[in-house]
Structure 1
Amino acid sequence: MTARLATYSPFHHIVVFCRFLVCLLSVSALSACQSDKASTSQLASPDWGEQKVYFVLLDRFNDGESSNNDFGQGEYSPTQESHFNGGDIQGLIDKLDYIQGMGFTAVWVSPPVLNQWWSPKAEYGGYHGYWAKNFKQIDPHFGNLDDYKALAKALHSRGMYLIQDIVVNHTGIFFSYKGNEFNPNSPLTNFYLSAPKEDTYDAPTQSPFDQINLLNPSHEKAAIYHWTPELENFDSVEQQYTYQLGGLADLNTSNEAVLAALKESYKYWIEEVGVDAFRIDTVKYVEHDFWHRFLHDEDGIYPFAESLGKKHFLTFGEVFQFSEPLQNDGEKAIAEYLGTGEKPELNAVINFPLYKDISRVFAQGIATEELAYRLQQHMEVFPHPRFTPTFIDNHDTPRFLAGGSQDAMLQSLALLYTTPGIPVVYQGTEQALLETRQSMFAGGFASQQSHFNTHSSFYMHIQKLAAIREQQSAFTEGKLRILKSQSFGPGVLAYQLTSVHEHSDKSESALVLMNTAEHTVVTGNMSTSFGANNQLNTLFAHKVEPTQSIVTNNNGDLQLVLAARAIMILESGQTFSTTSHGEPSKQTLAPFSVNGLENIAGLTFTDDTGIQGSSNRPNAQLAFILDGMWDERITVNTDENGNWDYTLQIKDLGRMTKTLMIYDTASQALSETATFTAVQNRATQEVRVSDPQNDDVGPTGTYQNLQHTQSGKQRDMLELQARTGGANLQITVKMKEVSEVWAPAFGFDNVSFSLFLHVPELAKKNASATSVLPMMNASMPEGFDANTWHIGHVAFGWGNYLFDASTANSARRGQNVGSAPAIHVNHDENTVTFTYSGKAMGISDWSNTSIYISTWDIAGEGHYRKISKEGGLWEFGGGDSTSPKVLDDAFLQLHN
């Protein structure tokens, strides 16, 4: 920070700040500051289903004009995540070649409007743009109106589009209630202005939003705001629409003056700048009637945009809500904000349920069936799925790579680009960034160097995927059919898309296959629509032999062996007259037939069980493939009558869905798949330890908890239990309190768990080990039976990361492991249970494993909360920036 600030003199601060004050004093002065009388060109609306969107967080993208970085108010500190870093509109203009080079056709920018620069209450700044003070003015940190017009013109001249992020739910953090104690019959009680500024108070500068002070009778009468405390009950519709989200002043959007001012504010940007679409923040916290009127009234956004030639002005809303596994409750809930035919609202919503399961399947290794189901709901629940934005991470979520591997992220991107919807990629994904709000430019937060490498692997992958999406219409408008998925964990996900061209009988079809597992799998038979003996063309391949020929059989079916993390994107090719796989010699064998598997289909087994059957292959070798694991297939010899015997082994702790197939090595044919359930409740090892109550005070005994109103005893552990069976390990933590007030994806919030395991089996294999606890200012504490760890696991409400020690250091976690533990929360018993699959980590025996577990809190974006001497709402107290980020901790030791 000092190096960059040193380039500015005190005189510079005075001149720049005075210039800014002059701009705020009068409308005429503002016009002088931001004068551009020339009209801005308007582009007609595109087919949004054909677009590819790059999302830019302005302050963290590129610093194009250093003179607007610092206005001397303590708001600028480029190395801190909480402050302005220096990115601006000119920096974005300077990098349009970089963005367009990846194939993007539209740029979504975070709100560029004047923001609250610093909130003493939150101890955080409004660099992100979502704490508005004036909805009709550019924040001087980002530039001025001329710069914004120049951006729109630069994009339009390239045939690209500008999407502006907007907020209508709230302004900044300007008032609050002491202790969050609120009496609806007496709103003045406990009310205070939370952003004092010398002898006055901080407030919006735009009328009527400047009427922020309930202590002023005229402000109270105007009722521009809901005079309410922070939202605590997310199940309450009243609180959802009228209470403050995170302490942000909640606008009274049912007030006609507020509605009119917001309409006028956002029509301004369409007319004055030529904005082509809006992304709308915090949609679910505003009542439905507002959305209908804001957008559809005669003086609303849609009619106004249409008058300027934008007949499909896209508005895609953020409705942060997920679905339960194999349920579509989340999709239905967010689709409500599309309105009805009689009372329409937005014309698109962001698909958050799909985002969640993209991460859970590709990064955490849950069953591919769940993502298959989610894709089907994407196509069925939303009236226009091709206009529904899809994404893998953004500025409010942990980076995908915080918990997923690079192979997993490539699979996620491949899914975005090969399914109907508008793919949205957050800045830095193409450079494999790990921090959510990391700056792209050198000197900004978490960046010692710039991140604009046009030869990085992901930059080029995105280029290729964008080109494929443009050449194959099925990816943008096709009907989607799931060909294969599995209900028991990582493995095959296969889907086919087919589009029929309007006014013709011509159709286009493409096939997408992925293996989400870290081991080779066999797909089983997949019934395609490509027809018989079709040698498919490869559009994109990853972890696939370049010479591999993909040919359907006589029935148009396809079966493949896919390497770990393989991706194949195929389209119809040349049809041959030869038989399956182009190998006529196989015609000499009778078609493979087998029976016996039907006797286990749908059944549940709790013990090892022998099964028998027969085939038409006497004295032959058959391969039994459990859970599609090709490399672990077991060879069984048939007798002279083709009979076979096989034993199902039921060892792994827990309840699991499993599959079994039989492969004929002579004809390379597969049987049908039998699905069954394995249940093993008997633990081979079990250990339980107690942990003292109220010892969540850190290693020095002096730490203080977070001070926000939702912070309680969620970080105080009372008991730990570890159980093993087969290759599985279960760890259950009983807490003093388990809460979910912020509607977390994993069922618990206000706590993070950091677990580190020393596994003797891995030690024998010379696996990487370290004593450093990444990102925690700590190492393995004294008293731990083993002072190093092999496997690390971090879990919080919105993240579930499993990693090894191979590349771990104090600043970063190790290499991500592809199958994160399953998480189960029991709110009645205040327990959180983690179930680890040893097979995913090459572990068959957990004997003598040492387990260290600690608690802290991690923000929704994925970073550990800070600690300081005084502490604060979102900072722990009783330490400093170098103190260990450990609040409560405990040990467990398994035995033989």
Structure 2
Amino acid sequence: MSRSFLFSLVLLATFHLVHAATADQWRSRSIYQVITDRFAPPSATAPARTSPLPQTCDPALQTWCGGTWLSIIDKLDYIQGMGFSAIWISPVSMNIDVETPYNYAYHGYWVNDPLSLNPRFGSSDDLLALSAALHSRGMYLMVDIVVNNVPALSTATALSTQQLQADGSRYTNPAYFHPQCWIDYTNQTSIDYCWLGDDKLPLMDVNTEHPDVIGMLNTWIANLTSTYSIDGLRIDAAKHVPGAFWAPFCQAAGTFCIGEVYGADIGYASQFQTQKWMDSILGYPLYYGITAAFGAPNGNMSAFVDIANQVQTAFPDPGLLGNFIENHDLPRFRNVTADPQLAYNAMVAQFIFDGIPIVYYGQEQDFSDGAADPYNRQALWPSTYANTSTYSRISKLNKIRQAVISNGTTFGGKTFLDSPAKILVSTATDIAIRKGPLLAVLTNRGSPNVSAAFGVSDTGWSSQSNVIDILSCKVFSVGTQASISVSYAVAGYGGMPYVFISDTDAAALGICGQVAVSSYNAPNSTLASNSNAHEVLPAFKDLRWLFFGVLATMSGLAFL
């Protein structure tokens, strides 16, 4: 590369660094992921960019349904109402615009010209308007980026200059691609250099070692992020590009980079941080742990514990990993389990554990039809953007997380973000996780109330002090050995998660209003000391609980 090119690149990156969000600024955020075509329909203020559009958006048809960058603006109140401080949108670049064996590129991932915007989603002014609308609300814009591959319609002619030109590809030199080979997932070299896709729609692997390709991509990303004030990049198929490519690319972007490293291999995935290839990755290993633990009643809690511990050990900064329980490549979580309480516990885990929470559009509407692509990519508007119980729960979790962060609430002299999550105790069905001032108690028992309780000793709070479950705003007293006990026997409280905080901190945050001081009566029960107390749970009338409590104490669990 010439000196003038390098100088221009440095100037672009330096300019954008003044405006871009840093990794440290991202760690306090929460992200709402949208598929641009499927999040919000055309409107009077967001005209359709595709015509004609189907009357009903059937995901099985794999075609455009009409969502655009402007239609996202129409529904920012809906996103912000859940407390999200950032959105992640589909790739913005030009896609192959013909029918393929898998129909059309409505999703935005079949990029054949990264330097041009996708007219199906809007114009340059539209993308600028979306960026401005987000920033006016104090929200960040994350854009999905496809670097690794370019679609073709045939393996036989894919690498001919004539065919590349006919397909509208920005890359017209066959040398800009690696030779055709299908990926052997047992071999990292093959993963780096061979092709995704299949014979019907091969995805040609871009030669990211070629100096022309490097120069073009670095210049493009510097211009894209600075022109549209993009705050972060989600990088598709990051593990399919040799790791050394990413650090200069993200430096040119001048903004936060989080990569897709699909798979459960923690040792390999952690290299993206240990080798400083990029700031972060999506937390697939933790996703597998959460799904194993909460994807079915009495799931594999030990798998979650093991994976969580490995993640914290392997990654230098797990607080930057993206925590999710569904996305556009995975089954809807409510397709994995129909149990709402298991899904609630899984959500609490993704919000409380180290990392940045990411919620996929429709998760708040309990979408369950999507077992996989394309059925997990429904249009959101048939839901009427209802204020469901899950919408409210996500809003509460965002409110809690943001409150302890912005208030600088500490425990042991450390804030929420500075405190690594610590698993205090776990059983086959229950787990207690301390994260700074918060203590989450989760279970995979499922919704039905059962004659069972779970005790957590050495919580770090003083005996006889009061703590608040800020999900329900109920008051609990801490017992001997700094212990707390929860029960799953009361009707309506089977399988419920809890997030505890000291009453002093709860009052400072104001999430539960003026929580009354209460005295302990029984697990999940308080006796209010004044008439203004919040609603309390009824004391247990079933004498079997006395017997269970004795057995539990004898077995080593510290119940109140």
Task: Call closer, same or farther: CA 1:125–1:159 in 2, change over 3 Å.
Answer: same
Q: Spell out, residue by residue over 1:531-578, the C-alpha distance to the aligned partner (whole angstroms, 9 max, x if none).
A: 22122122113xxxx76x522223212333234211111112379xxx
The alpha-carbon deviation at position 77 of structure 1 amounts to: 8.5
Partner amino acid, structure 2, of 1:94: D
Conservation of the 8 A alpha-carbon contact between 2:442 and 2:497: yes
- Return the match for 1:150 from 129, 143, 154: 129
Matching of residues 747-762 of structure 1 within 5 Å? none
* Alignment-mate amino acid for residue 363 of structure 2: T
SS in 1 for 2:439: strand
Aligned partner of 2:366 in structure 1 is: 432
Distance 1:230 1:44, change over 3 A: closer
Using the alignment, how far apart are the partners of 1:484 and 1:438 within structure 2?
Answer: 34
Residue 253 of structure 1, aligned match among 194, 208, 211: 208
> How many correspondences in the alignment?
483
The equivalent of 2:271 in structure 1 is 336
RMSD: 3.5
Structure 2 letter corresponding to 1:332: G
Q: Find out whether 1:511 has 2:490 as its counterpart.
A: no
Pair 1:144–1:525, CA change in 2 (3 A): closer
Q: CA separation in 2, counterparts of 1:401 and 1:200? A: 42
Selected match of 2:431 from 493, 497, 506: 493
| Contact 2:238 2:259 (C-alpha < 8 Å) held by counterparts | yes
Cα gap change, 1:460 to 1:635, in 2 (>3 Å): closer
1:639-691 residue CA offsets vs partner (Å, 9 max, x unmatched)? xxxxxxxxxxxxxxxxxxxxxxx7438xx944326xxxxxxxxxxxxxxxxxx
Q: Tell me what 1:19 maps to.
A: none
User: CA 1:320–1:90 in structure 2 vs 1: closer, same or farther (change >3 Å)?
Assistant: same
Give the Å deviation of 1:375.
Answer: 2.7
1:567 maps to 497
Q: Distance in 2 between matches of 1:574 and 1:139?
A: 52
Q: Which residue number in structure 2 is paired with residue 463 of structure 1?
A: 395
Instruction: Indicate conservation of the 8 Å contact 1:419/1:476, yes or no.
Output: no
Query: Aligned in 2, Cα 1:632/1:90: closer, same or farther, shift over 3 Å?
Result: farther
Compute the displacement of 1:361 (Å). Answer: 1.1
Q: Does 2:6 correspond to 1:68?
A: no
Listed as ranges, the matches of 1:215-294 within 5 Å are 219-220=173-174, 223-231=175-183, 233-246=184-197, 247-294=202-249
Moved more, 552-561 or 272-281: 552-561
Residue 281 of structure 1, CA deviation: 0.5
* Aligned positions of 1:467-616 closer than 5 A: 467-473=399-405, 474-487=415-428, 491-498=429-436, 509-518=437-446, 519-541=450-472, 549-563=475-489, 564-573=494-503, 581=520
* Cα distance in 1, alignment partners of residues 332 and 75 from structure 2: 22
1:445 and 1:522, CA in 2 relative to 1: closer, same or farther beyond 3 A? closer
Query: Is 2:73 the counterpart of 1:108?
Result: no
After TM superposition, the structure 1 = structure 2 runs for residues 91-240 of structure 1, keeping only pairs within 5 Å, are 91-120=71-100, 122-176=101-155, 191-193=156-158, 202-206=166-170, 209=171, 211=172, 219-220=173-174, 223-231=175-183, 233-240=184-191
Provide the residue aligned with 2:550 in structure 1. 664
How far does the alpha carbon of each residue in 1:301-336 deviate from its partner, in whole angstroms, 9 at most, with x for none?
3xxx2xxxxxxx2100000011xxxxxxx2221011
What amino acid is aligned across from residue 241 of structure 1 in structure 2?
A: D
Aligned mate of 2:317, from 345, 370, 384: 384
Q: Give the letter aligned to residue 159 of structure 1.
A: G
Deviation at 1:172, TM superposition (A): 1.4
Find the counterpart in structure 1 of residue 11 from structure 2.
Answer: none
Match of 1:362 among 294, 304, 313: 294
Q: CA deviation at 1:447?
A: 5.7
The answer to whether the Cα contact below 8 Å between 2:272 and 2:278 also exists between their aligned partners in 1 is yes
Give the Å deviation of 1:408: 1.5
> What per-residue deviation string (whole Å, max 9, x for no partner) do you get for residues 819-875 of structure 1?
xxxxxxxxxxxxxxxxxxxxxxxxxxxxxxxxxxxxxxxxxxxxxxxxxxxxxxxxx
CA distance in 1, matches of 2:152, 2:56: 20
Deviations, residues 749-780 of structure 1 (Å, cap 9, x unaligned):
xxxxxxxxxxxxxxxxxxxxxxxxxxxxxxxx
2:149 counterpart SS class: coil
Query: In structure 2, how many angstroms separate the alpha carbons of the residues matched to 1:556 and 1:203?
Result: 67
Structure 2-normalised TM-score?
A: 0.78
Question: Quick check: 2:57–2:378 contact (8 Å CA) kept in 1?
Answer: no
Per-residue deviation, residues 257-302 of structure 1 (Å, max 9, x unmatched): 1111111221121121111110001011111221233234xxx33x
Q: How far off its partner does 1:48 sit?
A: 1.1
Superposed CA deviations along residues 175-214 of structure 1, whole A, max 9, x for unmatched, are: 41xxxxxxxxxxxxxx3349999x99742342xx1x1xxx
The structure whose RCO (Cα within 8 Å, separation 6+) is larger is 2
Asked if 1:352 is matched to 2:284, the reply is yes
1:123 aligned counterpart, secondary structure: coil
**Whole-angstrom CA distance in 1 between matches of 2:399 and 2:55:** 40
Say if 1:331 and 1:351, in contact at 8 Å, map to a contact too. no
CA positional deviation for 1:446: 5.5
Distance in 1 (CA, whole Å) between partners of 2:333 and 2:497 is: 18
Aligned partners of 1:60 and 1:438 also within 8 Å = no
SS at match of 1:478: coil
Distance 1:525 1:85 in 2: 50
Instruction: Classify the secondary structure of the residue corresponding to 2:113.
Output: strand
Q: Unaligned 5+ residue runs, structure 2? A: 1-15, 406-414, 506-518, 523-541
For 2:231, give the aligned amino acid.
D
Aligned equivalents of 1:438, 1:447: Cα separation in 2: 15
Query: Which sits farther off after the overlay, 451-460 or 148-157?
Result: 451-460
**Residues 449 and 438 (structure 1), Cα distance of their counterparts in 2 relative to 1, 3 Å cut:** farther
* Cα distance in 1 for residues equivalent to 2:91 and 2:321: 21
Q: Identify if the C-alpha distance between structure 1 residues 266 and 196 changes in structure 2 by more than 3 Å, giving closer, same or farther.
A: closer
How far 1:126 moved relative to its partner? 1.3
Report the 3-state secondary structure (helix = DSSP H, G, I; strand = E; otherwise coil) of the residue aligned with 1:171: strand
Residues 152 and 158 of structure 2 are in contact (CA less than 8 Å); yes or no, is this contact kept in structure 1?
no
Partner SS state of residue 114, structure 2? strand
Separation (CA, whole Å) in 2 of partners of 1:264 and 1:395 = 29
1 CA distance for matches of 2:203 and 2:279?
26
* Distance in 2 between residues matched to 1:80 and 1:288, nearest whole Å: 34
Higher percent of residues as strand: 1
Distance 1:321 1:295, change over 3 A: same
CA distance in 2, matches of 1:437, 1:264: 39
CA drift of 1:143 comes to 0.7
For 1:423, give the aligned amino acid.
Answer: P
Give the secondary structure class of the aligned counterpart of 1:540.
Answer: coil
Aligned to 1:723: none
Map of 2:385 onto structure 1: 453
Cα displacement string for residues 601-651 of structure 1 (whole angstroms, at most 9, x for unaligned residues): xxxxxxxxxxxxxxxxxxxxxxxxxxxxxx997999xxxxxxxxxxxxxxx
Runs of 4+, deviation exceeding 6 Å:
194-197, 631-636
> What CA deviation, in whole Å up to 9, does each residue of 1:68-110 have, x standing for no partner?
11379xx998434311121111110111111111111111101
Distance in 1 between the 2:330 and 2:262 partners?
A: 11
Answer whether contact 2:41 2:67 (CA < 8 A) is retained. Answer: yes
